[in-house]
Each structure stands twice: as structure tokens, then as C-alpha cells.
Structure 1
Amino acid sequence: MQVKIATTEIRNMALFRFIFLLFLSSCIFAVLADVSVENCSDNSTIPTAQMSANIDSLVAELASSTSQNRFSIATYGKGTDKVYGLGQCRGDVNSTDCTNCIQDAAKNIRTNCQNQTDAWLWQNDNCILRFDDDQFFGKVDPSSFANLYNNDHPQHPSAFKKQLDALISKVSSEAVVPANEGLGRGKSFSVASNATIYALTQCTRDLSRRSCSDCLNIAIGNFSKFCNNEKTVGCRVLYGSCYVRYEIYPFYYPLDS
């Protein structure tokens, strides 16, 4: 017995499947994009109630100033209770998302790192908030990091890596140009892997050109260790003063957003 399915039913089934896959992929993208990473130093417990209050005041000041200026450094308190802080939105993030990001970061960093005097948090990759009881402005600190990577492998790893290396080098050179305020980004189509690679680098704006370059070189130099031996189609490496990421889908904002 032969079973015939009407053409319209086939089309409806195909349409339903397409919509479902589109919905699923959008959910996956949202999950990948909506990732916050914090580093709370276990060796920096808050010694006094006054310092804890100073951190609260500092974080509130940074949230307000960064919302207006996209970048802010500040200090709060006196003597041994003095604390230092930095807030910055990624250079391509629009003003509205910058404000929302830094406000969320201010809430989350005190919730997640409530007993530490040394902490940084990248909120959804769009902004960073950092505080410390030591003066860290202008310094590269590679002692703490976070990494996230995609387990999928490119079709031709060696060709993909060659294309990726060239792209990362290009966007890193853009990031150290003072006018770019620590931001470099771009894309490159890999013929061998049949994929467009997107890459972004960001330094905090307190770093000098040399320090920005040093921080990015440390992050990129650790790709082989942090990014599953550089055989993945996506990875991000985050430090308290710089950030490097690549994917095979667009994840950054257009300049005119």
C-alpha cells in the first residue's frame, strides 16, 4: 500500500521544521551571548566594614559615571580602606546597552564577589567592572583569567588557524591605536572552512599602547591552552584589562548602532 502526502502538507512540515530550527538557533545564540564572567580573588577578603561600604560607594559611582561616559576610573575612601575601581563598556556597544550592562554589572559583582577586595566582572561581554584595594590603573595583570570556547571543530583546522591568526593580528593592531580606544574588530572569509570568522579585541582604556599590546599578546599566546588547542570555531579569553574573542557568527555591534 502506498501512502501519498499532499504537497501542501510537505511544505507545511518543511516550514514548521525551518521555524523550529530558527527558533532553536536563536535560543542557542542568546545563551552564548548572555554570559557573564567574574573573577573573585579568594586571597582578598574584605578586612573592615568601612572598606565594604567604600566598595559599595565606589561601585555606585562607577555605574553612574560609566553610563554617561562609557569609561570611568575612580577611587573611594582613605588610608588602608581606600579602594580603586574601573568601569568600561566595549567600544562597539551602543549607549542604551552600555547603561543597562554597567548597571547589571554593578549589582552582580557585589552579589557574586561580596567578600572580596579584588574582583572584576565582564557582564555579557559588553562591559567590565573592576575594583581592588591596590592601585591597578595602567597595569596588566595576567594572574586571573576566564575562558569560554565552542567544542565544534572547523572542517580544515590548519587552514582555519592560518586565517584566524591573520585576522587576530589585524584586529590587535587596531586595538592599540589610541583613536580606537582599545577596540579592534573585523571579519575574514575562510574558503577552506567555508565560514566567515569574526574577531574582536578590547583593552581597558587606562592601559598605554604598549600595555594594551602586552595584554592582548598574553591572551592570544594562551589560545592553544585556553581554546582547546586552537581547533575550535569560537573562543573568548578574558582578563581584567583586556578581552579577545572569535566566532563564526557575528557577535559585535555595528559602529553606527
Structure 2
Amino acid sequence: MATTRRRTSFLLLLLASLFLLSSSSSTDSFLLGGCTQQTYAPDSPYAFNLNSLLTSLVNSATYSSFNNFTILGSSPQDVVYGLYQCRGDLSMPDCAACVIRAVSQVGGLCPQTCGGALQLEGCYVKYDNVMFLGVEDRSVVLKKCGPSVGYEPETMSRRDAVLAGLASAAGPYRVGGTGEVQGVAQCVGDLTLGQCQDCVSEAIGRLRNDCGMADYGDMFLGKCYARYSTGKAPSDFEDPPDFEDPDEKRRKKKKKGKNSRLARTIGVSAAVSAAVSTAVSAGVAFLLTTYVTSKRKPPEPVKKGEPQPPERITPPQKNICDCGACE
């Protein structure tokens, strides 16, 4: 009984530390998430392998902005694949803090499902029992277009020039801008340079076609994204999410208007205290096993007149599992 209380107290302290350290950061703002329809038994080999995978993701995020893992099992049904990708401008402490938050939230979003994915402002996490590492995916998972700026050919010309610069740039993480017009694009690290180029080019093309003269646009494909902002109208990447874990309930309302929308997104986040690294090494295993299958409260309805939250994408069911790990 005393041991249980000590563990519970340590967990609460760990969560409180992470909450306080990240409360001023926009990197953990929810953008989108999705789950497969297949489920696994709580005490199955797949559940054990999934916990091992998520632990590996969190540990790796303390020293690398991208990594992927494959956890093998005694049968094909027990194999789990996973990866994480941090935004290219994040420091290692910020990357680690974001991945911890993503792993915690995806467990509540997708309880006991064989696959799940979560995109926060600062990082992306995905796992599945179907092999997806190195596989191209240019399907649209999130599209957001801001209000129209009206007929302003100079602004749209600058926007197109910034997007063209992103399309012609090299590397998985690309930023550019001129004046108030800013843009950013990034690929998941498991793509080749050629696959990354194809994905970013398609995302940018869709932005031009679908968002027209919008003040800002976000286009998230399966393995990359492209975003821009002209700064002509009030906008904020931190729109109300359609999923929020209990930790978020106590957070203060975000202040508006001091910083531009994209400056917060592509700017370098303030360094997170060394307490994150201490919390990761001391409590990540217990945090994962406790919260991977934790429940989350349903999202609050969007009030009339407020911007619509990002849609949640649920991939179609794939009959991969037999009666072993997945039910």
C-alpha cells in the first residue's frame, strides 16, 4: 500500500513538472490524431511490445530529432512499428518534452488499438502493426485555410515566392519568408530525399489550389506538411483542439495577439529546464505503462462562431491481426 502511494505521488510530481515546464510553450498544441480500428488485449505480447516501442521513442528523443523502431515478437501478429519526428528547429530538451506529451496523449486517444498517430505543433508520433516505415503517404490528413485577404496581388505574389522557395529548397526541414509572409515545410525522416521532395511539392501545390487568397494555410499529408502565413489577418496555430487530455484542463487560457502566428511556429522555443531530462530518465517507464491505456474525457463542443477544430482522421480497418495479439 505504501509502495503504491509512493509511486502515485512520484507520477503526480512527474506530470506536474512536465505541465509547468511546457505550459508556456506552443509545441504541445494538438493538431490532429487518428487510430486504427483493430484492438489488442491488455496483457497480450503486442501490448508489451507497444510499451517497449513507446519507451524507445521517448528515450531516443533526448538525443535525436527523429528515429524509428521495429519491435519483433514471437509471431507476426506481435510485431509493432513506430517513429517520432520533432520539428526541425526544436532543441533536444524541447523535442523530448514534446514526444513525452505526444506519447501520453496518443495512449488516451487510441486506447488498446493496434495503431495510432498524433501530430502536435512540435512533434509527430505514429505506431502500427502494419509496416509503414519508408513508405510514401501523400494522402491529405489535415487542411486548414484562413480568411481571404481579398484582392492583394503583391501579398499573393510574395506568398507564391515563399512557397516556391520551400519547394526548391533541400533537406527535410525548410523555412523561408519575406516581410510578414512566412512559410515552413517538413518531411518525416523515414522518406528518401526524392520522396520528401515529391511530398512537399504536392503539399505546396494543394495549398495554392485549395487555399487561394487565404491569409494562412496548413496542408498536412501523411508524411509531410507545408504551411504559410501572410500576417494580414489575426490567426493562431493554437486553435481549440478536438481532443484534450486531463492535464490540459488546468492550463491557463492562451494569450492572443502578442506574436504572429507563424513566428511562434517556426521560431526556436525557449529552452526547457533540465528537469525534463531528469523526469524522463526517472519516470518514463512508469508514465508509459500507466498512461498508454488511460481514458480521456470527450472533447467539449465547439461554440457557435468559433473556428472549427482540426479534424481527426481515422484510417480504415485493415485485417492484419489474427486471434493472437489483436482482437
Give the Å deviation of 1:121. 1.3
- What is the distance in 1 between the residues matched to 2:31 and 2:45? 27
Give the Å deviation of 1:187. 0.9
- The aligned residue for residue 14 of structure 1 is none
SS in 2 for 1:222: helix
Q: Which amino acid aligns with 2:177?
A: K
- What is the distance in 2 between the residues matched to 1:92 and 1:122? 16
- The aligned residue for residue 53 of structure 2 is 58
* Higher RCO, Cα 8 Å, sep 6+: 2
Give the Å deviation of 1:255. 10
Distance 1:159 1:37, change over 3 A: same
Give the Å deviation of 1:76. 1.3
> Is 1:233 aligned to 2:223, yes or no?
no
Matched positions, count: 212
- What is the distance in 1 between the residues matched to 2:61 and 2:84? 6
- The aligned residue for residue 17 of structure 2 is none
Q: Which has the higher helix share?
A: 1
SS in 1 for 2:133: coil
Alpha-carbon contact 1:55-1:83 (below 8 Å) kept:
yes
Give the Å deviation of 1:31. 10
- What is the distance in 1 between the residues matched to 2:114 and 2:154? 44
SS in 1 for 2:168: helix
Give the Å deviation of 1:163. 1.8
1:185-222 Cα offsets, whole Å, 9 max, x none, are 01113xxxxxx111000111111111101211222232
Aligned identity (percent) is 23
Aligned partner (choices 130, 152, 168) of residue 173 of structure 1: 168
Q: Which amino acid aligns with 2:158?
A: Q
- The aligned residue for residue 206 of structure 2 is 222
> Is 1:242 aligned to 2:258, yes or no?
no
1:130-150 Cα offsets, whole Å, 9 max, x none, are 112122122221335112343
Aligned partner (choices 63, 68, 72) of residue 73 of structure 1: 68
- What is the distance in 1 between the residues matched to 2:61 and 2:26? 25
- What is the distance in 2 between the residues matched to 1:163 and 1:31? 29
- The aligned residue for residue 199 of structure 1 is 183
Alpha-carbon contact 2:167-2:204 (below 8 Å) kept:
no
Give the Å deviation of 1:157. 4.3
Aligned partner (choices 34, 41, 46) of residue 40 of structure 1: 34
Alpha-carbon contact 2:28-2:102 (below 8 Å) kept:
no
Instruction: Return the TM-score normalized by structure 2.
Output: 0.58
Query: CA-atom RMSD, angstroms?
Result: 2.6
Distance 1:139 1:38, change over 3 A: same
- What is the distance in 2 between the residues matched to 1:31 and 1:230? 30
For the pair shown, the structure with the greater C-alpha radius of gyration is 1
Q: How does 1:54-203 map to 2 (within 5 A)?
A: 54-78=49-73, 79-123=76-120, 125-143=121-139, 145-151=141-147, 153-174=148-169, 177=170, 180=171, 182-189=172-179, 196-203=180-187
Alpha-carbon contact 1:38-1:109 (below 8 Å) kept:
no
Alpha-carbon contact 1:149-1:234 (below 8 Å) kept:
yes
Q: Which has the higher strand share?
A: 1
Give the Å deviation of 1:103. 0.7
Distance 1:57 1:168, change over 3 A: same
1:49-80 Cα offsets, whole Å, 9 max, x none, are 33233222211211111222121110113222
Alpha-carbon contact 1:204-1:242 (below 8 Å) kept:
yes
Q: Which amino acid aligns with 2:146?
A: N
1:112-161 Cα offsets, whole Å, 9 max, x none, are 122433322112x211111121221222213351123433x325344433
Instruction: Return the TM-score normalized by structure 1.
Output: 0.73
